[in-house]
Amino acid sequence: MRLYEQPAHVLHDMLVNKEITSVELTKDVLARIDEVEGDVKAYLTITRDEALKQAAAVDEKIGRGESISFLEGIPGAIKDNICTKGVKTTCASKILEHFVPPYDATVTEKIQAEHPVILGKTNMDEFAMGGSTENSAYHPTCNPWNTQCVPGGSSGGSAAAVAAGTAIWALGSDTGGSIRQPASFCGVVGMKPTYGRVSRYGLVAYASSLDQIGPIARDVTDCAHLLNIIAGHDEHDSTSSAVAVPDFTKSLVADVKGLKVGIPKEFFVKGMDADVEKTVRAAVKQLEALGAEIVDISLPHTEYAISSYYLIAPAEAATNLERYDGVSYGERVDGSGIVEMMTNTRSAKFGEEVKRRIMIGNYALSAGYYDAYYLKALKVRRLVKEDYDKAFEKVDVIVAPTAPTPAFKIGEMISDPLKMYLQDVCTVPLNLAGLPGISVPCGYSSSHMPIGLQIIGKALDEATVLRAAYTYEQSQTFSKEMPELGGKKA
Amino acid sequence: MSYEAVIGLEIHSELKTKTKIFCGCATAFGAEQNTHVCPVCLGLPGVLPVINKRVVEFAIKAGLALNCTINKFSKFDRKNYYYPDLPKNFQTSQYDLPIAEHGYVDIDTEKGRKRIRITRIHMEEDAGKLVHSGNTIKDSDSSNVDYNRTGVPLIEIVSEPDMATPQEARAYMEKVKSILEYIDVSNCRMEEGNLRADLNVSLRPEGTETLGTKAEMKNINSFKAVEDALSYEIERQEEILEDGGHIVQETRTWDPDKGITLSMRTKEEAHDYRYMPEPDLVPIVTTDEEIDAYRKNLPELPDARQKRLEDTYGLSSYDAGIITASRQMAEYFDAVIADGADAKLAANWMMGDLAKNLNAEGKTIEESPVDAKRLGQMIVLISKGTISSKIAKKVFTEMWTSPDAPEKIVKDKGLVQITDTKAIEAIVDAVIAANPKPVEDYKAGNKKAIGALVGQVMKQSKGKANPGMVNKLLAAKLDA
C-alpha cells in the first residue's frame, strides 16, 4: 500500500502518530507524479522544491512536539484560476502564460495558514469555460480511469490529480458544474458550496454571479475538513455570506433516518445514459434502505436552465475578460496603434471557446438585445430558483445524477459545442439558484467508468448535504477505489 | 431666423474621501506615478471591489443638498468600453438605479432667478491618466498609464437641458460647485480635475419646443472654458443652420488655445456601453431614518445663508450673493463679524481691499495674510472712531505684511484719529490763512471749493484728523 492512496484524514493521523513524515508522504506523491503524470497531465505547474521545503518544515514542527492542523503537511493542488502569490496563475490561457500574481486569493491564504504541502497548479478549461479540460490552451488532461477519456471540466486537472493519487486533495471552482462533473467522471468527491459561502476574492472571474470555489477530495470526510478551512465571510468579497459557518465535521454521522430525499423527474432526461440512470436509481434505493424517505418532486423549469446559463455566464464573462488587453499585464501582441494592439492580443491569445462565449455575451448585452436575451435569462433564473424554494418546502435534500453520461472520449464532442453544453444539464441549475451540491461516487458504467451521485441542499445547508453524502459513502466502497493506471492497480 | 440654445451639463466631481471607491488606496493628488495602486484598482485577475461607505454617504449628501430624491434601493452597473486608462475596460458606474434623482438648483440670471432641474446623480470610479512621451498624443512615440487616479470616487450630476445661455451654464456650474463645497464632499479644485463638465448643446428656432441635434463637449475644466466653448459652439451651429445645413450628432473637444471645438467622434462611432448589473457588489439599501439623519446634519446651504445675511444684517442681495457663493468666503465673513464688527463694513472690506489684494497675489481667501479676526478688529476701530476709513486703508496695507494686531499698528505708527476739536481747529485756521484763493471761491458761492481745504487739513494732519469734524469746522468758519 502506497501513501498516496490514502485520504487526508488517514494521513493526518499517521503524521500525528509519527508513523510517517510529511517528507516521506510528499516524496511518495511526487514519485506518483513521476509515474503517471505523463499519462494524466493534470498539472500546469509543479512546485516540487517548494513542496519538499514545506514538508520539511512541518516535520520539524512535529519533531518539536507541536500540534498540527488537519491539512498540515499533506500534499494537495490548486486549480490554476485561483491566485497564488509568486506562483504562475494562467487560467490555462495563453493570455496569462507568464502571469505571476502579486497577491494570494483569500482561499489560498486560508489554505496556506494550515501549512499544507502545495504541489502546484492544476489544468482546466481556459478561464473555466468547458466541461472536458480539452479547452486548456496547453494540453488536455486525461481521465485516470481511461486515459482515452476526458476527466470532465473545467476543474479536470484537480479531479484527475486526486483520482490518480498525484494529489491528496485539491481546490476547484464551479460555475456550471465544474467541480461536480469532473468529480463524477473521475470517481472522487467534489463539492460546490452555496454561492457566497466561500470567498471569491482571488478567483479569476468567469461568471461572477455563478462562480464558487470548492473542495475535491478522496472522500466526504476530507471534503468536510476542507470546507471548514475555506468557508467564511471575507471583507474583500461583498457577495460572501456573513452567516456563521458550522463545523462541517459534525455532519460526518452515518444517519439519514427520516431524511426527506426529493427525486426530481426532470433530471432523468431522455437521452440519458442507461448506466447512469440505473446506477443513480440504485443509489436512491440504497438511501431508502438506510432510512431516508424518498419523495418524487418536480422542478419544472429545469429544461430552461441551460439556455439561461448560456446567456448569463457569457454576458458576465464578456465583461470580466475585457481586462485582458495587453496594456499592463498578461501577454501582448503588438500592433500599429492601441486598438490594433488590443485586437491582436485578444485574437491571438484567447482560445476558440473563450472567444465564442465573449461573442455570445456581448451580443446578449448589446443595445436592442438586452431585454430579449439577458433580461429574459435573468427572469428564467428566478423561476429556476423558485422551483427549488418550493421543492425544499417538502424535502431536505434533492438527489439526482451529476452528469447525464460517464466520461466521454477525448475529441468526441469538441466540435459540437451545443452537445457539450448539454452536459451541464444536471449541474447548472444549482449555480443559477446558488445552492450547494456534492458529487459522490456511486458506481461504474459497463465500461468501468465512474458515475457520480449528486446531492443538492438548501442554501447554506451544506451540513445536511454532507451528512447524506457521508451516510451513503459509508454504505459502500466506491470512494476507496482507485483507477488502474500505468499498468498497475493502486 | 433666430435660434435659441438648449444646454445641459454633466458635471463630474471627485469626492474627497481619503481612500478610493473600491479599495484602500489613497486618493491624494500629485503623488509619484503608480504609487497609489493595489491589485484591486489595477484590475488584476481575480480581484473584487468593495464599496467605500463614505462614497455612498457623500453621494447622498450631495443628492439632498441638490434637492434630489434619494433612491432607497440603488445598484452599480458595468459600463463597458475599451480604453487604456481603464484597467478593467469597464467602468463601475450606475445605470438604471442611481443613488439620487429629480433635484434642482436655482441660479441668478439677468432675468432673475431660474430653476435648473437635475435629472440624476450617480456614483462611479474615475479612470487613470495617460502620460504621453511627447507634448500631445499625436506627436508621441509612446504613452504610459498612471493609475493613481483609477478608482478615485466620482459623482456625476446630470442636469436637464434647462439652460439657454453660456452665462446660465456657468452660473449653474458655479452654484453646484458652491453647494458641493458647502457640504464638504469635494475639493472642487478645477485645476486638478476635481470638477469637470461635459456640455451638451443644441439649437432650435426661437419659440419652438422640439430639441435640435446636439453636440457634446467633454472634460471642460474651467468656468471660462464653459462659457467660451458654449459660445463658440452656439455660433458654429448657428452658422451651419443659417446656411441650410444640419448638425451632426457628435462628441467634440474644446481647444482652449485655439478657442475652437473639434470633432472627436460621431454618433455612428459612439460606444455601445453594454451596461450590465455589477455582480461583484451588492445593492445599496438606504433607510428613511438614515436619509433623515443625513438631511438633519446638512450645513446651511448657499441660498439659505444668503437670505440670512440679507435678513439679519441688511446686506444687499448682490453683496450677500457674492459673500455666500463660496463656503470659505461665507465662513470668513462670519468670523469677521463674530467679535462685533459691523456687517456692512465687513462686506465692503471683503469685496473691496481684501478681494483686490487677494486677486493681485493670486491667493485664495484661506491663504489671506489678513485673517478674519484681525479684519474684524480693524473694522471695530473704524466704528469706534479710533481710525478713519482712510487711515484704515493704511492699517490694512500694513497688516498685509505684518502679523501685528491692528490696534498695535495704529499705536506704533501713530495713526490714531485726531478728534480733539482744538487741535483740528488750529490746523483749520492755519489752512484758511494759507489758502486765500479757495476761501474766496467758497465765499463767492462755489461750495465745492471746500474740498481743496479739507484736503489740505487732512494732509497736514497726516490723514489723522476726523474727516467729519474737519468738514464741520471748516464750513462753520467759512460761513461765519
- Closest by Cα among A98, A150, A99 to A125: A150
Percent of chain B having pLDDT more than 70? 100
* Cβ-Cβ contacts under 8 Å for B468 (sequence gap 6 or more): none
**What 3-state class would DSSP assign to A448?**
coil
Mean pLDDT, to the nearest integer, of B47-56?
A: 98
Q: Which CATH superfamily is domain A3-300+382-489 in?
A: Amidase signature (AS) domain (3.90.1300.10)
Domains in chain B, start-ordered, CATH in brackets?
A: 3-291 (no CATH), 300-412 (no CATH), 421-479 (1.10.10.410)
The predicted structure's pLDDT at residue B271 = 80
Residues lower than pLDDT 50 in chain A? 487-490
| Global pTM value | 0.90
| Residue-range domain boundaries for chain A | 3-300+382-489
Whole-angstrom Cα distance, residue A165 to residue A160?
8
Selecting from B48, B84, B88 the residue whose C-beta is nearest the C-beta of A238 gives: B48
Which residues of chain A make contact with B84, given a CB cutoff of 8 A?
325, 327, 338
A86, A235, A285 from B41: Cα distances, Å: 20, 16, 53
Whole-angstrom Cα distance, residue B1 to residue A488?
95
Is A447 among the residues known to form the active site?
A: no
**What 3-state class would DSSP assign to A78?**
strand
Whole-angstrom Cα distance, residue B42 to residue B51?
16
Q: Is B48 on the interface with A (CB under 8 A)?
A: yes
The predicted structure's pLDDT at residue A490 = 40
Residue A316 C-alpha, separation from nearest chain B C-alpha, in angstroms: 8
Model confidence at B413, pLDDT cuts 50, 70, 90, reads confident
Whole-angstrom Cα distance, residue B103 to residue B162?
13
Q: Which spans in B202-284 are helix H?
A: 223-242
Residue B83 C-alpha, separation from nearest chain A C-alpha, in angstroms: 9
The predicted structure's pLDDT at residue B264 = 84
pLDDT digits (tens, 9 = 90+) for A161-171: 999 999 999 99
Say if CB B55 and CB B226 are below 8 A apart.
no
The predicted structure's pLDDT at residue A420 = 84
Mean pLDDT, to the nearest integer, of B79-97?
A: 96
The predicted structure's pLDDT at residue A488 = 43
Whole-angstrom Cα distance, residue B76 to residue B91?
10
**What 3-state class would DSSP assign to A410?**
coil
Task: Report the half-sphere exposure of A264 (CA within 13 A, side-chain side).
Answer: 28
Helix B166-182 crosses helix B53-65 at what angle (to 10 degrees)?
Answer: 130
Task: Estimate to the nearest angstrom the gap between the alpha carbon of B452 and the chain centroid.
Answer: 44
Say if CB A54 and CB A78 are below 8 A apart.
no
Whole-angstrom Cα distance, residue B478 to residue B442?
8
Which residues of chain B make contact with A89, given a CB cutoff of 8 A?
45-46
Cell representation of residue A180: 461536480
pLDDT digits (tens, 9 = 90+) for B129-149: 999 988 877 788 888 999 999
Q: Which of A41, A79, A349, A458 is catalytic?
A: A79
A154, B33, B70, B278, B313 from B182: Cα distances, Å: 55, 31, 19, 32, 21
pLDDT over 60 at B328, yes or no: yes
Selecting from B45, B50, B274 the residue whose C-beta is nearest the C-beta of A204 gives: B45
**Least confident span in A337-346, B297-306, B385-394:** B385-394
- Closest by Cα among A18, A42, A44 to A32: A42
Whole-angstrom Cα distance, residue B331 to residue B338?
10
| Contact: B39, A101; criterion CB under 8 Å | yes
Say if CB A86 and CB A100 are below 8 A apart.
yes
Q: How far apart are the first and last CA of chain A?
A: 8
Which residues of chain B make contact with A203, given a CB cutoff of 8 A?
46
Percent of chain B having pLDDT more than 90? 68
Residue owning grid cell 482546466: A124
pLDDT over 80 at B266, yes or no: no
Cell representation of residue A299: 422542478
pLDDT over 50 at B164, yes or no: yes
Neighbours of B113 (CB within 10 A): 9
pLDDT digits (tens, 9 = 90+) for A319-346: 999 999 999 999 999 999 899 999 999 9
